[in-house]
Chain A
């Protein structure tokens, strides 16, 4: 403000009441927040704030990697963790940005919606007095009457919103506008985006996701509660009760590979029951494949991974036998070399102290396609082809009674360190081979079973999210590709006692870089000549 003249000093300085001052602050904040400039800055902040999520490990995606990152980066890792950098998309700052952006969006959309309704009901604007000032302008002297010209123009401008007005001096004019779909699309896009965000947020409340490993030998999984899962991630409003009941039975699993051992196909024959089928115990067949989940009872069942479970039989000195096939975890995705621990309790031992000296664990590696070099077992392919195991047999206290949970894939190392669990044999076994321990117990490797890893997902709002996303796409297409443009035609008697009619045509594109020129030239040619333009260029 560089006023050359100072305004006259008011006699009494104006002091707004506190209420007015609060109102002014609120109003200015609202105006600032809903301005396009603020929206732009918030968009930038959103892009910037999302970036760490792509660069740093995220707890929700990979908890192990996150923990490893934090421990290996010392104070820096701890600081990032406290600033919620390992859970970017649920962090306070990320939420703050998108909430502000939503408020800004609503503040922008509300007045625009009113304007939109008003403009949809309004007649096209008055024809400007001086049409030759418009960016596109053509004029011609024709022999037809003004009525003929305007009638022809009305026919040509079919599909345009137009109005005819009488003007001074005996002239009449048409004012026409087209491309209202642009603003419609724009509003549809933004409202659909709001809807999408709300549906997404609601989905996060009522969603759940669980993983479970099931042996592919006719074993069953039933969605009866959290306890049935190996891991379970509930949404904020899900407590694990009232899950939709259904059961699946995994009958088999097949994988196909190329000659280079690249997998090309996974499939599993399953049966399932849900709803009424549960009462009547009816099983329906389904071929579960990657990219083709089973959708039933509002849930989706995915085939996520597969693996092997070596089957061991332990024959105790008394002649009692115990057989188990427990899933081992693949450690190398290329060769499916797997590791794990199969744990046995001695049969017929009631005294828990004695039992804890005679528990057995068979731990080690499983190679689907084995290759031994100098006694070291590795795997060369993921397919089962005379599989072998390299196992340690451990005897003693497995620590299962300690009250601490332990992984089914490994033994409790602290028991080994304490000397309460001792290695009693180490051997490589092919199918059918066995080890006899010092006390006469025989451990036999019977063969390998397959297991599948399933994911069960539930998201009640994803259909709405899809609907809103499609609406966004359609709205976006219309708002970017439709051109809003105006055209005016004025027909009046030629001056100076001449016969005929003077026709003026003018055009204005209301959207930037619309490329209206070519269309206008074509349109003006037809309006001025009264005939359809051919492929060739006509000149008058």
Chain B
């Protein structure tokens, strides 16, 4: 199994370029978030008029807002950011595919590659979210952790393309790790949305708090819906990933569950997200408390990625970082 150095080099270049484009897009979105509030509020008002109208006795619901207004400059910058985001995502994807071709295996065998997948999925999820919800201007806040992760991945955690050790040579690497990476990537979105939810709901309770920033955020229930919808997508996937991990562990390590640090932390994160779902059905726990639980869940995922891989030693110590 030879590593194709050329492809690996192209993969690295794509990765770096994608990261740089994310930074540019991040700047664009921050401009939209800061200066585009007026246009957005007008759009939201137009939209809510239509929705109110839908409740009345009428025969049809206009699907597009009745009022079409020319996009403001900030909004145009936001749209450019979204286009850049798509471009960067394609580069990001090609970095992943090239890496896979270079090493002739699923390109998620060490921490650098894993982070590449997690961030890719996070961006893809976010693109889906901004298609469904009017939250494009918040993209900067989602891109911030993504850019940080990609920077850490490309510098501190970077690993030269190489084959993996025998214990990892299994088709379960494809299934288990991709399920874990995809669910982690999706979980990033509700994590960020919940933080923004807390700020917005604090602002809604008391307009003095986050006076400038809070008013520029979408309504709390929109953020809540974004967080919930993405969490219910990621949670079964995460469960599937843990289940596949157990099946793999049974054939690689001799037991399906052994409280290895990684397994334990995955269990903890799973329990926290289960608590999140339950909290939404419990009086007095909806809203802010549920959002806090979701943030804890994402914190557990981050802890699992960094602390467990880099600090403790367990069977999952595959970071490839000396």
Chain A residues close to B by CB (< 8 Å):
36-37, 39-40, 43-44, 46-47, 50-51, 53-55, 58, 60-61, 88-89, 132, 137-140, 200, 209, 258, 260, 262-266, 289-293, 300, 302, 304, 455, 457, 459, 462, 465-466, 469-470, 472-473, 476-477, 480-481, 512-513, 515, 521, 528, 537, 539-540
Contacts and interface: CB of A to CB of B under 8 A. Distances in A.
B163 to A, nearest CB: 6
B285 A47 contact: no
A132 B169 contact: no
B130 interface: no
Nearest to B235: A480
Nearest to A46: B271
Given A139-B59, A462-B256, A480-B232, 6 more contacts: A58-B259, A89-B259, A139-B57, A263-B165, A291-B170, A477-B236
Contact of A209 (B246, B254, B260): B254
A270 B319 CA distance: 33
Interface string B112-124: 0000000000000
30 contacts: A37-B284, A40-B279, A40-B285, A43-B278, A44-B272, A46-B271, A47-B272, A53-B264, A54-B261, A54-B264, A61-B258, A132-B57, A263-B165, A264-B165, A264-B169, A266-B166, A289-B166, A291-B166, A293-B251, A457-B254, A457-B255, A459-B255, A462-B250, A465-B256, A466-B247, A469-B246, A476-B236, A481-B232, A513-B229, A540-B59
A476 B277 CA distance: 11
Interface string B166-182: 11011010000000000
Contact of B267 (A50, A258, A304, A459): A50
Contacts of A513: 224-225, 228-229
A8 to B, nearest CB: 33
A481 B228 CA distance: 11
A258 B163 contact: yes
A61 B275 contact: no
Contact of A60 (B251, B253, B259, B268): B259
B239 interface: yes
A262 B243 contact: no
Contacts of A304: 254
Give the bracket for the number of chain B residues in contact with chain A.
35 or more
B271 A40 contact: no
Contacts of B260: 61
B1 interface: yes
Contacts of B284: 37
Contacts of A481: 232, 236
B240 interface: yes
A507 B165 CA distance: 56
Among B235, B239, B285, B300, max chain A CB count under 10 A is at B239
Task: Please classify the interface of chain B as helix (H, G, I), strand (E, B), loop, or mixed, using the class held by over half of its residues.
Answer: helix
Contacts of B268: 47, 50-51, 54
B275 A521 contact: no
Interface of B: 1, 55, 57-61, 63, 162-163, 165-167, 169-170, 172, 224-225, 228-229, 232, 235-236, 239-240, 243, 246-248, 250-261, 264-265, 267-268, 271-272, 274-275, 277-282, 284-285, 300, 308, 312
A335 to B, nearest CB: 15
Nearest to B304: A54
Contact of A260 (B162, B235, B279): B162
B225 A36 contact: no
A260 B57 CA distance: 75
A300 B271 contact: no
Given A47-B268, A477-B236, A480-B232, A37 B169 contact: no
B278 A300 contact: no
A540 B58 CA distance: 11
Contacts of A469: 243, 246
Contact of A291 (B169, B224, B235): B169
